[in-house]
């Protein structure tokens, strides 16, 4: 059986970690925009690093939104209910992916 308090703590801990990561990535991207190299090789590397940082920042924001949505679903008593088929989400799936909103069957269909 899933302990709602334990899940809430796990989700909020992950949310905090992601917010810290997002903040650091934002600072890094700001630095890239300020520090523009004149050397073409350095600039190419800088652009590549910036693209990687932007991709990671975007993934972090997506995961953060999923975490926030899971916390809301937990508060509403819908945490263990699949958003597509309205069946129960498997407890082992929720333990592995605490922010999932879909059961394994619906997730595999997407």
Whether pLDDT at 36 is above 70: no
Provide the percentage of residues in the chain whose pLDDT is more than 70: 92
CA 43, 47, 48 angle in degrees (round to 5)?
120
**54 in the Ramachandran plot: left (φ > 0), alpha (ψ -120 to 50) or beta?**
alpha
Round the CA-based radius of gyration of the chain to a whole number and report it: 19
- Tell the residue number behind the tokens 């899971």, with chain if given: 70
For 46-60, what is each residue's pLDDT tens digit?
Answer: 788 888 989 999 999
Mean pLDDT rounded to a whole number for the chain = 90
Whether pLDDT at 90 is above 90: yes
Please give the residue that has the higher pLDDT: either 36 or 63.
Answer: 63
- Tell the residue number behind the tokens 């932007």, with chain if given: 54
């Amino acid at each position: 059986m899933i302990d709602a308090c334990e899940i809430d703590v796990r989700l909020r801990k992950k949310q905090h970690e992601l917010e810290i990561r997002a903040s650091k990535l934002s600072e890094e991207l700001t630095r890239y925009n300020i520090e523009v190299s004149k050397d073409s090789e350095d600039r190419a590397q800088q652009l590549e690093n910036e693209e990687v940082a932007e991709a990671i920042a975007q993934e972090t924001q997506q995961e953060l939104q999923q975490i926030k949505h899971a916390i809301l679903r937990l508060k509403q008593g819908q945490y263990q209910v699949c958003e597509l088929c309205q069946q129960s989400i498997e407890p082992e799936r929720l333990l592995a992916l605490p922010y999932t909103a879909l059961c394994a069957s619906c997730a595999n269909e997407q």
